[in-house]
Structure 1
Amino acid sequence: MLEETLPPLPALFGNPILRGELHEIVSPEPIDWLPQTLGWQILALVLAIGLLHRSWRRLRVWLRNRYRREAQQRLSHLGPSAEASAINEVLKLTAMTAASRREVAALTGVSWCHWLETRATTKIFSQESLLILGEAVYSPQGSVTPVQRSALVREAHRWIDQHRDDHGFH
């Protein structure tokens, strides 16, 4: 239908000098992106396995440290004016996840404070904070100043980040 509407071409159409000497350009075959030799295929397989292994390990660590993120979130919700008993509760829940319930649940007072100190690689809690944590269940909240509370919250955040986990991930 389109050919019917077009006028016919003249006998001398185009450049007469080049007529007959032009050849159609043939594009080369597309390059295959897959490696052709066995060595490159083995290297690609080893790299893919290594990447999967690393991703799996990172996922396991991320999942294992979920309790740390949740503890940090609970502590943040308590705020800088949190009661010492509430901070102690968050620390105890975190400790039971990091170690074992059997080991941590019965700890109170001085033994609880000593356990907290031994689980961190560096000294995190001040003597004043340890005293507050050790007596948190027994003493009234009024005996703790706001400065002591905010220091205790900061130290608890650091302990949650840095404590040793018995389950082998960090």
Structure 2
Amino acid sequence: MTSARAPLPAPAEAAASAALEKLHPLLEPAPPSWMPQTVGWAVLAAALLLLGAWLGWRAWQRWQARRYRRLAARRLQQLRVLLKSGQTAPAQRLAAARELPALVRRLALAHAPREQIAPLQGPDWARWLDRSLPGADAAFERGAGRRLGDWAYLPESALPWPELDGLLALIERWIHEHRPPEPAA
């Protein structure tokens, strides 16, 4: 039995060294190209580019279509600051309070046909608002929005100021969540 490899004798070592010197280094192949080799990849790239452009265009359209909501939310925030600030003049505060029902009406007119919105008043208006807000549970008919119309014409002393926070929250929710109203039952 032979143990580990025995060292080569000197002449054999010289011959192996000479043989190794005659070897040429291996030629490595060129790295593979990242360019597509077939037409299918070019078609796929074009299709993905078109899909991306179409999705971008649709996103832009949705963003533009929701512009009226963003403007209404911004105006509601301005009104909230005027109504809640202790430094607002009483006349400014009253003007801001009077604008709340008008803001909701303008937003509804931007959302639905004028012929459908313009004739609505009182309970019919409240029912329409409830039907256009998913999960409203009659919030405009019997909840925080039941006195929305009062804010337009009542004298300042008769306005339901304690209900203002609930009304502002409901209007904000309606701005962000309203949909075309479900048909009346």
Q: Give your verdict on TM over 0.5.
A: yes
SS of residue in 2 equivalent to 1:131? coil
Indicate conservation of the 8 Å contact 1:35/1:41, yes or no.
yes
* Corresponding residue for residue 93 of structure 1: 106
1:104 and 2:117 aligned: yes
Q: Secondary structure at the match of 2:151?
A: coil
Summarize the Cα distance change of 1:110–1:120 in structure 2 as closer, same or farther, 3 Å threshold.
same
**Contact kept in structure 2, 1:113 and 1:134, CA below 8 Å:** no
One-letter identity of the residue aligned with 1:101? R
Match for 2:115: what amino acid?
Answer: R
**RMSD value over aligned CA atoms?**
2.9
1:157 counterpart = 2:158 = no
Paired position in structure 1 for 2:50: 49
Relative contact order (alpha carbons < 8 A, sep ≥ 6): 1 or 2 greater?
Answer: 1
Deviation (angstroms), 1:130: 2.9
Measured after TM superposition, the shift of residue 45 of structure 1 is 1.4
8 Å Cα contact 2:99/2:152 also seen in 1: no
Residues 84/129 of structure 1: CA separation in 2 closer, same or farther (3 Å cut): farther
Give ranges in structure 2 of 5+ residues lacking alignment. Answer: 1-28, 84-92
Q: Which of 103, 128, 131 is matched with 1:115 structurally?
A: 128
Q: Percent identity between the aligned chains?
A: 30
Aligned residue for 1:70? 71
**Higher mean C-alpha displacement, 59-68 vs 126-135:** 126-135
Q: Which residue of 2 aligns with 1:137?
A: 152
Q: Cα deviation per residue 1:108-155 (whole Å; 9 max; x = unaligned)?
A: 211111110011111173624332113333433323343311211111
TM-score, length basis structure 2? 0.66
Q: How many residues align?
A: 148
Q: TM-score, normalised by structure 1?
A: 0.72
The farther-off stretch of 53-62 and 145-154 is: 145-154
C-alpha separation between the residues in 2 aligned to 1:33 and 1:90?
A: 57
Q: Higher helix proportion, which one?
A: 2
Name the amino acid aligned to 1:79.
Answer: R
Measured in 2, the distance between the counterparts of 1:159 and 1:105 equals 18
Residue 106 of structure 1 and its aligned partner are, at CA, apart by: 2.5
Unaligned runs of 5+ in 1: 1-27
Greater gyration radius: 2
